[in-house]
Amino acid sequence: MMRPTYPQNLAMRSLVRNSGIKGNSFKWIDGGCRRFATGKRSPPPPPEQHRTAPKPLPYQPAKPNPKLTPESSPKPVIPPTPPPFSSSSSSSSSSSKGYEDKRRPISELVRDRWFPLFGAGAAVVCVGFFTSSLVFYWRTQPAEHWTPGQEPETPTGRPTIQSPREFDQHLDKSEWRFGITKLRRHIGSELARGHVLEVAVGAGRNFDYYDWSVVTSGLESAEDKEKSSWFGWSGKADGKKPAPASASAPQNENAILSFTGLDISPPMLDLALTRIRQVVPFMADQIPRKPMFYRLASKTADSGEEGISLANNRIRLLKADAQTSLPPPPSSPSDPNARPEKYDTVIQTFGLCSVRDPVRLLSKMASVVKPETGRIILLEHGRSWYELVNGLLDRSARQHFERFGCWWNRDVELVVRAAERAVPGLEVVRLERPGWVTLGTHVLVEMRVREDPARAPPHPTDTNSPFGTVDGDRDQDSAKTATSWWSSVVSINSSPKKDN
């Protein structure tokens, strides 16, 4: 019987034949190949899931159960019948099952959580005591309130807790938040025109919104003129010279022809000079980087006050007390005799709270404004519509005066009506409380002086009040001021913005 021939044997024989291996070595290799081919290999172990279960423990027979008698057989337990099915009952029972299992007596809860319970009770007692004491104090101690101009201390209008520069920087965010920045823009770009006088100019926060195009005309250098004419095609192509800007015929109706600013504090005038250098064109060369008013000021020929003249006497900053006298408008540098008699616009922002006699100040302002066409613009803060707000202003008036030097609880409308009766021909054109954020504490007033005082409507007087009739004027203008705050907001928001 022939042995079977395997492919590996044939391959090995050909390999040995070619390599020259002979004799016993060939037999040894041949036998190894035969053992490998004919040997039996153990199968691979089964996977985990196919492994056989372990052998059980030795069998132990169960003990026989005793026979149950009818008397000893246990009774079946009947589960309680559930209530009728409903979505709300099922959800509540399922959600409260865990809570019912963990219910504990109140004594145990108090013993475990006494600290937070005690803290909550103490907080409630403190808040209740503070509220009741505040109400008791509010009812038993009336707030201090004085007639405008008769306060116990004379206002100064200067802060005492911080420098003027820090005070000016502090006003940026607060004025934007309460809408005062929008009112300043409205006054400077739409109401100011012609020859402008600003009383209590302070740090010059209105300078950003004036139109200085006419005031600064002719101040540019020769190089700037050549550049502007080259890029503007201003008449050089046809050999004609560009027409110079005329102060009497401005291109913009609201452009100012001259500006005069008054303040009694030299540090505030330093800030005003800095702002003029930053805002007004061509002023960076005429004002030093860190200006100081008392070093640059001199006696002015027009008013006799100590001040600074800029832009060919079209811009003036004077140190003067507005309650004593107000300077006349500046004269023209080309013709000193051609001096305007009065101003076209007189502006004051937040100044009536800082003077001793506000009615006298308004009478001075009325004496330097042009009749009929001239305007007096006031932006002030004072008492509100609501008595609750007025009570808060009265109770904090002394603290506010100690910090900022002004009485912020004055009745601006009362002061304006008193000046309207005291000055012949002076009348209120507009009195509004713009914005609801300030709760009526800010007042925008526009006044004029009639050329014929006899045409002005008569105002009833009251001898008992130092400022004349109060209730009669309020009743007369109630329909005008009741809804004026909303109309003013609409008019200001709808007006175009003119930022320089």
d(CA 292, CA 458): 48
Whole-number pLDDT of residue 386: 86
- The residue among 329, 351, 435, 425 whose CA lies nearest residue 385 is 435
Low-confidence ranges of the chain (pLDDT < 70): 1-9, 12-13, 15-102, 137-141, 221-252, 301-303, 332-338, 453-500
d(CA 200, CA 198): 7
CB 34 within 8 A of CB 24: no
- What tokens were used for 398? 């002394």
d(CA 264, CA 144): 29
SS (H, E, C) the chain: CCCCCCHHHHHHHHHHHHHCCCCHHHHHHHHHHHHHHHCCCCCCCCCCCCCCCCCCCCCCCCCCCCCCCCCCCCCCCCCCCCCCCCHHHHHHHHHHHHHHHCCCCHHHHHHHCHHHHHHHHHHHHHHHHHHHHHHHHHHHCCCCCCCCCCCCCCCCCCCCCCCHHHHHHHHHHHHHHCCHHHHHHHHHHHHCCEEEEEECCCCCCCHHHCCCCCCCCCCCCHHHHHHHHHHHCCCCCCCCCCCCCCCCCCCCCCCEEEEEEEECCHHHHHHHHHHHHHHCCCCCCCCCCCCCHHHHCEECCCCCCEEEEECCCCEEEEECCCCCCCCCCCCCCCCCCCCCCCECEEEEECCHHHCCCHHHHHHHHHHCECCCCCEEEEEEECCCCCHHHHHHHHHCHHHHHHHHCCCCCCCHHHHHHHHHHHCCCEEEEEEECCCCCCCCCEEEEEEEECCCHHHCCCCCCCCCCCCCCCHHHHHHCHHHHCCHHHHHHHHHHHCCCCCC
Domains annotated for the chain, with CATH where assigned, are 164-218+246-494 (3.40.50.150)
- In this predicted model, what pLDDT tens digit does every residue of 340-388 receive, in sequence order? 789 999 999 998 988 989 999 999 999 999 999 999 999 999 998 888 8
Whole-number pLDDT of residue 246: 43
The three-point CA angle 280-281-284 to 5° equals 85
d(CA 332, CA 236): 29
- In this predicted model, what pLDDT tens digit does every residue of 238-290 receive, in sequence order? 444 444 444 444 556 778 999 999 999 899 999 999 999 999 998 988 899 89
Whole-number pLDDT of residue 500: 36
Whole-number pLDDT of residue 75: 60
Whole-number pLDDT of residue 323: 87
- The residue among 282, 333, 293, 328 whose CA lies nearest residue 204 is 293
d(CA 293, CA 331): 22
Whole-number pLDDT of residue 164: 82
Which residues have C-beta within 8 Å of that of residue 189, sequence separation ≥ 6? 209, 210, 211, 254, 497, 498, 499
User: What is the CB neighbour count within 10 angstroms for residue 254?
Assistant: 16
